[in-house]
Homo-oligomer: A and B are copies of this chain.
Amino acid sequence: MPEYSDIKTPEGFLFSVAEAAIKKPGRKDIALIVSEAEANVAGTFTTNAVKAAPVRLCMRNVKSGRGRAIIVNSGNANACTGTQGLKDAGEIASHISQHLGVKSSLSYVCSTGVIGTPLPMTRINPALDILIENVGNYSFIDVAKAIMTTDTFPKTTSQEVKIGKKAGVISGICKGAGMIQPNMATMLCFIITDIAVERKTLQSLLKDSVRRSFNLITIDGDMSTNDTVLLMANGMLGNKPITANSRYTNAFKSALDKVTCELARLVVKDGEGATKLIEVSVKGAANKAQAEKAAFAIANSNLVKTAIYGNDANWGRIMCALGYSGIPFREDKTDIFFNGTQVVRGGISNNKDKEATGVLKSKEIKITIDLHSGKSSASVLTCDLTEDYIRINAEYRT
């Protein structure tokens, strides 16, 4: 669990949260992030063909690469809501932009929650006024709490980056829990920084970082309609804007990776019903694409995930998933390890299942598969599959 008191936030960002009773009353479920100065904005979005209305709005706005505010609600995804959904998202953006005295396209809107129900705008509109009134009275962690759905803890992390004699900050929050699968961003993730970064560089650095973090996790193989990662860089540090080949590009890139990878790890750790974090690492593959394909086949197998939950070193299910992954490989060259205990040598049992069963009682499991067919590797994070996942998702709307 992260120590929230250690989380730094960059200069020039203000936060607010309010209760709009979107799914039910009793909690803050709408939040606002405002940059004091107009910021460069980058974004990555779900590749699901069914995109929520706010995703469509953000995708349009991010073309300008500029922004002032992000408004997020939990409890309702505003997805599959037709033209009404687009109208509602647009109205939220206009409402906040008007208060800030900027054009509507500088406000980004994100939603997460139940699909298919129109937003309760009669309750959201007054909550937007309260958000504005309270700007600056809340923290980034309060925003992280407001965007939780089935998450059991708020997810946040930060990194300091030395830029000459000054120190900039990159901070991120994230919500996850279910409907998590690669080729998306994650459910919702907001990263803010006071370091100045040139627009196009910001977009390309974010895209690469998401590829190395959120696109290498899976909880249930279900790809959401709302996944969004937004990165705002307001330049309040006063540094010379970072470009593709600046002196500080690598430092920024590496700190950004730390933020996205830590948030991705927290999302998997808090996977719906999960009791264990599982890293599936495939090495010795002919190329990176094959290593990733094999790792995802294993990480998405319900049978592998239930075996890990049951402390059962049932490596046959790993061989089986490898077999249907579609990559070419030699069964008789394959080695499998659980946290360093080798259970398979050359495709057959190494007679270490008993030792491995003990190893599996750990809360963090690393499954290593060595294909001995090349030099490429890939790691994917996932979690175990438990009765609680079923319970949470059978009762989600009740």
Which residue numbers of A lie inside 8 Å of B, CB to CB?
Answer: 47-51, 77, 79-82, 84, 114-118, 178-179, 181, 220-225, 300-303, 306-307, 309-310, 312, 314-317, 319-324, 328-329, 331-332, 344, 346-349, 385-387, 389-391, 393-398
Residues from chain B with a CB closer than 8 A to the CB of A221 are: 221, 300-302
Closest 3 CB pairs of A and B: A115-B316, A310-B394, A50-B323
A270 → chain B closest CB, angstroms: 17
What residues of chain B lie closer than 8 Å to A322, measured between beta carbons?
49-50
Tell whether, in the assembled complex, residue B317 and residue A115 are in contact, meaning their CB atoms are under 8 Å apart. yes
Distance A329 CA – B50 CA, assembled complex (angstroms): 9
Query: Contacts of A179 on B, CB cut-off 8 Å?
Result: 303, 320
Number of chain copies forming the complex: 2
Contact A320 B395 (CB under 8 A): no
User: Main SS of chain A's interface residues?
Assistant: loop
Q: How far is the CA of A314 from the CA of B114 in the complex (A)?
A: 9
The answer on a CB contact under 8 Å between B385 and A306 is no
Query: Contacts A223-B324, A387-B390 given: A315-B116 contact, CB under 8 Å?
Result: yes
- Distance in angstroms between the alpha carbons of A48 and B327 in the assembled complex: 11
Subset of 29 A-B contacts with CB under 8 Å: A48-B323, A49-B323, A49-B331, A50-B323, A51-B323, A79-B316, A80-B349, A82-B346, A82-B348, A115-B315, A115-B316, A115-B317, A116-B316, A116-B344, A118-B349, A179-B320, A181-B324, A221-B221, A222-B302, A222-B317, A222-B320, A224-B320, A225-B319, A302-B302, A303-B393, A306-B394, A310-B398, A387-B391, A390-B390
Q: Name A307's contact: one of B321, B332, B348, B396 (CB within 8 Å).
A: B396
- Tell me how far the C-beta of A304 lies from the nearest C-beta in chain B, rounded to whole angstroms: 8
B309 touches A48 (CB 8 A): no
Please state if A348 and B301 are interface contacts (CB–CB under 8 Å). no
Chain B residue at minimum C-beta to C-beta distance from A391: B387
- A320–B50 touching, CB < 8 Å: yes
Residues of B within 8 A of A301 (CB): 221-222
Q: Which residue, A300, A302, A317, has most C-beta atoms of chain B within 10 A?
A: A302
* B178/A348 in contact, CB under 8 A: no
Give min CB distance, A208 to chain B, whole Å: 23
Q: Are B319 and A116 in contact (CB under 8 A)?
A: yes
With A312-B397, A397-B312 as known contacts, state yes or no: A323 contacts B225, CB within 8 Å: yes
Pairwise interchain contact A310-B49, C-beta atoms closer than 8 A: no
Q: Which residue of B lies closest to A222 (CB)?
A: B303
Cβ-defined contact, A48 with B306, below 8 A:
no
Give the CA-CA distance A396 to B306 in the complex, in Å: 9
Given contacts A80-B331, A82-B348, A319-B115, contact A312 B48 (CB under 8 A): no
* Cβ–Cβ < 8 Å partners of A80 in chain B: 315-316, 319, 331, 344, 347-349
Quote the shortest CB–CB distance from A176 to chain B (angstroms): 14
Q: Are B116 and A309 in contact (CB under 8 A)?
A: no
Extra contacts, 11 of them, besides A115-B319, A222-B301, A386-B394 (Cβ < 8 A), are A48-B324, A82-B346, A115-B320, A220-B302, A221-B221, A221-B300, A221-B302, A306-B394, A312-B397, A314-B397, A387-B387
